[in-house]
């Protein structure tokens, strides 16, 4: 349940994606940032808010042409989700590796 209206920045970013992006020609983060004046981090926060708070299925292509778009079918959605899946798997692997290190043994070996 959405407990607030979209703010001006969220509306502006969403309109750019709706009106200027497609699977074939997504809109780059740089183009959105130039139009809105947002920092990289702020744009990421706005995109996350549009997804989480307002349920817009915004995805991104990480290969050329790269950028954000709203998928129109399942194939476009899956293509846009692939980079997130890879990132999650990498983060899970990193988490497992770091968690598996016995810190007592690690530091004992380093200082002996």
The 10s digit of each residue's pLDDT in 29-42 is 999 999 999 999 99
pLDDT digits over 95-107, tens only?
Answer: 999 999 999 999 9
Return the exposure string of 52-73: e unless at least 16 CB atoms fall within 10 Å of the residue's CB, then b. eeeebebbbbeeeeebbbbbee
Sort 79 into a burial class: Cβ within 10 Å, 0-12 / 13-18 / 19+.
middle
All domains of the chain in start order, with CATH: 8-111 (1.10.10)
- What is residue 55's predicted lDDT score, i.e. its pLDDT? 96
First to last CA, the chain: 57
pLDDT digits over 66-77, tens only?
Answer: 999 999 999 999
pTM for this prediction: 0.82
- What is residue 109's predicted lDDT score, i.e. its pLDDT? 80
H runs (alpha helix) in the chain: 8-20, 29-36, 40-52, 74-100, 103-111
Residue 101: which H helix or E strand, with range?
A: none
Mean pLDDT of 10-17: 98
> Is it the case that residue 1 has pLDDT exceeding 60?
no
pLDDT band at 62 (very low <50, low <70, confident <90, very high): confident
């Amino acid at each position: 349940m959405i407990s607030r209206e979209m703010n001006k920045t969220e509306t502006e970013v969403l309109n750019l994606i709706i009106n200027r992006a497609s699977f074939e020609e997504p809109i780059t983060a740089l183009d959105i940032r130039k139009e809105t004046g947002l920092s990289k981090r702020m744009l990421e926060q706005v995109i996350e808010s549009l997804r989480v708070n307002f349920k817009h299925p915004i995805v991104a292509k990480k290969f050329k042409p790269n950028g954000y778009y709203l998928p129109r079918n399942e194939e476009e959605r899956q293509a846009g989700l692939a980079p997130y899946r890879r990132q999650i798997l990498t983060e899970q692997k990193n988490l497992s590796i770091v968690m598996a290190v016995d810190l007592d043994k690690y530091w004992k070996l380093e200082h002996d």
